[in-house]
């Protein structure tokens, strides 16, 4: 039986940081350098945090976000040896449900609808691995938590960290060899 991996969407396979920067600039005319997000809670890095937060409730925000480099290829490769589940705590942003569903159908069409989990709390997820960018999800992981680097978690020293999909593949390929 294959081991299972739950993979978060935002800041793991979907580049929400770049999307947020672009939307903020488009809406408010201010370009925030990505470096300004380092070590800061996500929306606090913007001059007007409330305005930045309002963007994630707008139609289209999640649907048109770019993919993180190497994500699709890595997920497809992992699928050869693991049961892959895309898991997103999408209930916090109800507009995101259909947008994330459509995004996945476009960018990862090889992931079955049966392997997509939209939830409110990821403590219900019981996989061998969880790849996520938030401690609130990883701290309760029943399997091995894997912290995917994002600007907001750059100073976190808890959990095994990966900085790219290349590193994910190397780590999980190594796990298979053992």
Give the catalytic positions in this structure: 8, 10
Q: What's the rounded Cα separation, in Å, for the pair 151 and 34?
A: 8
**Residue 147: which residues within 8 A CB-CB, separation 6 or more?**
132, 133, 135, 138, 153, 156, 158, 159, 160, 161, 162
Q: Is 80 exposed, middle or buried (0-12, 13-18, 19+ CB in 10 A)?
A: exposed
Closest by Cα among 65, 41, 43, 63 to 152: 41
Cα 118 from chain centroid (whole Å): 13
């Amino acid at each position: 039986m294959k081991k299972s991996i739950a993979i978060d969407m935002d800041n793991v396979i979907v580049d929400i940081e770049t999307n947020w920067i672009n939307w903020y600039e488009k809406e408010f005319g201010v370009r925030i350098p990505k470096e300004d997000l380092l070590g800061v809670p996500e929306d606090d890095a913007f001059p007007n945090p409330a305005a930045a937060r309002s963007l994630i409730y707008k139609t289209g925000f999640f649907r048109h976000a770019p993919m993180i480099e190497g994500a699709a290829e890595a997920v497809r490769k992992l699928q050869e040896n693991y049961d892959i589940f895309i898991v997103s705590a999408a209930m916090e942003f109800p507009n995101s449900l259909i947008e994330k569903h459509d995004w996945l159908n476009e960018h990862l069409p090889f992931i079955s609808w049966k392997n997509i989990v939209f939830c409110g709390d990821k403590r219900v997820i019981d996989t061998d691995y969880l790849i996520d960018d938030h401690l609130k999800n990883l701290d309760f992981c029943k399997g091995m938590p894997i912290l995917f680097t994002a600007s907001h978690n750059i100073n976190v020293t808890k959990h095994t960290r990966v900085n790219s999909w290349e590193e994910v593949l190397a780590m999980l390929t190594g796990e298979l060899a053992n």
